[in-house]
A and B are shown apart, each in its own frame.
Chain A
């Protein structure tokens, strides 16, 4: 029970690794505020947590809108008194060539503006006045290296690494740790959606993972929980890749 009575906000907490995090944190005693862009998805996650004897509320909305971030955090503070932990999990991707890319504002809005707006709101409304807090951003291998067909995602996820380091050093002496999980290929809806667009998109990629398998969403949630826990008390500004060894492998080579 690492998170007994901790107040945790999870954006994108209704599906994939966000849902896995919702379950894990609630299972370890946290009160979880579940954001999702889809109201029904957030409500379903809350119902699941509640049925398992946990505590959660839904705070659905579009993470890329600053006013949603501010009002959602305000609601959580009003109901539970504070925000101890913020997990910026919500993310979207697409497949479009750079020259005709028209998803830039939407992708960078959700993947980069969102984590900033929510971090700023949680810090200003609760973590800075309380002198303590914990933020975990979710980037991607695409934050470190590029692949063809999603310039907005790659730029935004690389931006999340900078955002993590920037907030980590600005708020280190205010009791707020800011870290980042950088997932590799994970079995989530975002991947299944992209396979629906192009069934062969990941056939080659799966074979190039040194561990030779995709990750489960729970494996990402466990990394987030470690960073948000007191076990990580001296860790801030870290980019923690959870990728089955993919970033350790030179892109010009194949696993043994």
Chain B
């Protein structure tokens, strides 16, 4: 029970690794505020947690809207008194060549503006006045290296790594730790959607993961829990890849 009575806000917690994190934080005693763009999936995540005897409530809405971020954090503070942990997990991706890329503003909004807005809202309204907190930002292997067909995703995820370092350095004096998990290929709805658009898209990539398998959402969530826990008390500004060895592999070579 590493998170007994901790208040945890998780964006994009209605599905995939966010949902896994919501379940796992709640199972370790946290009260979880579940954000999702889709109100139904947020409600379903809350229902699942409550059925398991945990505590959660839904704060659905568009993470990229700063006014919403502020009001959502205000609602959490009003209902349960504070925010101890914020997990910026919501993310979107697409497949479009850079020359015709339409999704720039959407992707920058969800993947980069949102973690900034939510972190600032949580810090200002609760963590700074309370003298502490932990923030986890979910980036991607795309925060280190690029692949063809999603310039907005790659730029925004690189930006998320910079955001992590900037906030870690500025808020260390407030006892707020800010870290980043950079998942590799993980079995989430986002990856399934990518495969629906292009069934071949991840075939080669799967074969290029040194561990020879994709990650599970729960494995990504474990890293978020670790970084948010007291076991990581001296860790801040870290970009932690969780990728079956992919970022350790030189891109010009293949695993054995």
Contacts and interface: CB of A to CB of B under 8 A. Distances in A.
Interface of A: 164-166, 168-170, 172-173, 184, 210-212, 215-216, 219-220, 222-223, 225-226, 231-238, 240-249, 255-256
Contact of A231 (B184, B209, B212, B226): B226
A173 B212 CA distance: 6
User: In the complex, which range does the number of interface residues on chain B fall in?
Assistant: 35 or more
B235 interface: yes
Contacts of A184: 234
A248 B255 CA distance: 30
26 contacts: A168-B248, A169-B249, A172-B244, A173-B256, A210-B236, A219-B233, A219-B234, A220-B234, A223-B232, A223-B235, A225-B231, A231-B225, A232-B222, A232-B223, A235-B240, A236-B211, A238-B240, A238-B248, A240-B235, A244-B236, A245-B168, A245-B169, A248-B165, A248-B236, A256-B169, A256-B173
Contacts, number: 136
A172 B249 CA distance: 11
B238 interface: yes
Given A173-B256, A231-B222, A240 B238 contact: yes
B40 interface: no
A247 B242 CA distance: 19
Contacts of A220: 234
A173 B206 CA distance: 13
Contacts of B238: 240-242, 248
B3 to A, nearest CB: 14
A166 B232 CA distance: 26
B191 interface: no
Given A172-B210, A232-B222, A240-B235, 19 more contacts: A165-B249, A172-B244, A173-B212, A184-B234, A210-B169, A210-B236, A211-B234, A212-B173, A223-B232, A231-B222, A235-B240, A236-B211, A240-B240, A242-B234, A242-B238, A248-B165, A248-B166, A248-B168, A248-B236
A170 B256 contact: yes
A238 B248 CA distance: 7
B149 interface: no
Contact of B164 (A172, A246, A248): A248
B173 A248 contact: no
Contact of A237 (B165, B210, B226, B235): B210
A173 B248 contact: no
B218 to A, nearest CB: 9
B194 interface: no
A168 B249 CA distance: 9
A246 B173 CA distance: 13
B65 interface: no
A172 B212 CA distance: 8
B103 interface: no
B124 to A, nearest CB: 16
A237 B242 contact: no
B172 A211 contact: yes
Interface string B212-236: 1001100110110110000111111
Which of B165, B210, B246 has the most A CB atoms < 10 Å from its CB? B210
Which of B220, B225, B236 has the most A CB atoms < 10 Å from its CB? B236
Interface string B77-96: 00000000000000000000
Given A173-B211, A255-B173, A237 B247 contact: yes
B133 to A, nearest CB: 14
Contact of A234 (B173, B225, B232, B243): B243
Contact of A248 (B169, B216, B226, B243): B169
Which of A223, A234, A243 has the most B CB atoms < 10 Å from its CB? A234
Contacts of A212: 172-173
B245 interface: yes
B241 interface: yes
Contact of B241 (A211, A238, A244): A238
B20 to A, nearest CB: 12
Given A172-B212, A245-B168, A234 B248 contact: no
A225 B7 CA distance: 25
Given A169-B249, A248-B164, A234 B211 contact: yes
Contact of B245 (A172, A210, A222, A243): A172
B173 to A, nearest CB: 6
Nearest to B244: A234
A215 B248 contact: no
B215 to A, nearest CB: 4
Nearest to A256: B170
A165 B245 CA distance: 8
- The 10 A-B pairs at the shortest CB distance, nearest first, are namely A248-B237, A237-B248, A172-B210, A210-B172, A165-B248, A248-B165, A234-B219, A219-B234, A234-B215, A245-B236
